[in-house]
Amino acid sequence: MRQDVRVDDRTDLPPMAADFQPSPSATSAGTYWLGTTADSASACWENPDDQATVVCLENPWSDETFTRSIDGGLSASAATSDPVLWAIELSDGSRWRLRTGGSWAGRPDGWLGAYLCIEHCQTFQDTDQVILSNDEYPHGYDDSAKVWTAFVGEVGTDDPPEPEAVSITEGWFVG
């Protein structure tokens, strides 16, 4: 582990349940999604210094990690066969993180929230806008063209406007 990374020790919290699965954004083995929604633990690795804990990265644009105790050991984890982006930066500079669950408002047209804006969200302040997914775009973005696009729209209203296709300038997987 890098020595310049800040680590927030959360081992005083109850251990995370041994319900470990590969991160949906994993491009290599040994990257986990674990715990509950509130744990925000979608990019975690076994701590090489203490196998009773994991090291997790919560914000894709930060070098701060957190450690958590785990209940039981980690089982082997393969890379995800069709990984989704863990983090997205759109052409307006806004930065988005993959949804980790929780209760999000919906839309009557079937689009669902997939990513939450976490940095440089000026365009989206005071709105319930998220990157949306649906049956046609289950990951919340279209990667079939040279320039990928995400679908940004409101949730929680009875008559929301159509989602807006916005260019993705950068995207990150974990691994």
* Residue 2 reports pLDDT greater than 50: no
pLDDT confidence of residue 38: 57
Q: Rank 29-43, 44-58, 107-121, 137-151 by mean pLDDT and report only the highest.
A: 137-151
**What does the chain come to in residues?**
175
Determine the Cα–Cα distance for residues 79 and 101; give it in Å rounded to an integer: 21
* Residue 48 reports pLDDT greater than 60: yes
Q: pLDDT tens digits for 95-125?
A: 999 987 777 888 999 999 999 888 888 665 5
Cβ neighbors of 145 (< 8 A, separation 6 or more) are: none
Determine the Cα–Cα distance for residues 159 and 161; give it in Å rounded to an integer: 7
